[in-house]
Structure 1
Amino acid sequence: MTALHISTDKAALDVAMIHQFLSERSTWAIGIPLATVQRAIDHSLCFGAYLDGRQVGFARVTTDRATFAYLADVFVLEAERGQGVSKALVAAVMAHPDLQGLRRFMLATSDAHSLYARHGFTPPARPASLMERYFPDIYVN
Structure 2
Amino acid sequence: MPEPCPTAASEFAISTDKDRLDRELIHSFLTRCYWAKGIPKETFDRSIENSLCFGLYRGDQQIGFARVISDFATYAYLGDVFVIEKFRGQGLSKLLLKRIRAHPNLQGLRRWSLVTRDVHGLYARFGFRPIQSPERHMEIHDPEVYRGKRSRQHGKMHEQKHSGGRSRRLPS
CA displacement at 1:136 relative to structure 2: 2.2
Which residue number corresponds to residue 9 of structure 1?
Answer: 17
| Matched-pair identity in % | 53
Which residue number corresponds to residue 77 of structure 2?
Answer: 70
Query: Which one is further off, 78-87 or 41-50?
Result: 78-87
Q: What aligned pairs does 1:10-25 form with structure 2 within 5 A after superposition? A: 10-24=18-32
Q: Which runs of 5+ in 2 are unaligned?
A: 1-7, 149-172
CA displacement at 1:105 relative to structure 2: 0.5
Which residue number corresponds to residue 43 of structure 1?
Answer: 50
**TM-score normalised per structure 2:** 0.78
Higher relative contact order (CA 8 A, sep 6+): 1
- Partner AA of 1:56 in structure 2: I
**TM-score normalised per structure 1:** 0.95
Distance (Å, rounded) in 2 between the aligned partners of 1:61 and 1:22 = 15
Q: Which of 111, 122, 125 is residue 115 of structure 1 equivalent to?
A: 122
Distance (Å, rounded) in 1 between the aligned partners of 2:122 and 2:65 = 15
Work out whether 1:83 is the aligned partner of 2:106: no
Q: Which runs of 5+ in 1 are unaligned?
A: none
- Determine which structure has more spread, i.e. the larger CA radius of gyration: 2
Distance (Å, rounded) in 2 between the aligned partners of 1:40 and 1:113 = 24
| Matched pairs, number | 140
Q: Which of 127, 131, 140 is residue 138 of structure 2 equivalent to?
A: 131
Distance (Å, rounded) in 2 between the aligned partners of 1:127 and 1:89 = 28
Q: Which of 63, 66, 71 is residue 59 of structure 1 equivalent to?
A: 66
Stretches (4+) displaced over 6 A:
none
**For the aligned residues, what is the CA RMSD?**
1.3
Distance (Å, rounded) in 2 between the aligned partners of 1:7 and 1:128 = 37
